[in-house]
Amino acid sequence: MRNVLTLKMRTCFLCLCREENDHRDAHRKLDDLSRSIVRISRFNPFPITETENG
């Protein structure tokens, strides 16, 4: 019984949520975000560069 409780209460360090639906939703959003970041960085015609003036 204790193992079931431990498994139920285990949290994900990325989204820190305990509910399974929230967990899945958070990871879906995280995946979407990382995909869009990769897409932007891959196809960005104006790469972000540091300027000397700051």
Q: What is the predicted pLDDT for the residue at 2?
A: 47
How far CA 32 is from CA of 2, 3, 10, 24, 36, in Å, comes to 35, 33, 24, 12, 6
3 is written with which tokens?
Answer: 């193992």
Q: What is the predicted pLDDT for the residue at 5?
A: 45
Judge whether 32 and 21 are in contact, CB under 8 Å: no
pLDDT, tens digit (0-9, with 9 covering 90-100), for 7-44: 454 555 555 555 666 667 777 877 787 777 766 666 66
pTM greater than 0.75: no
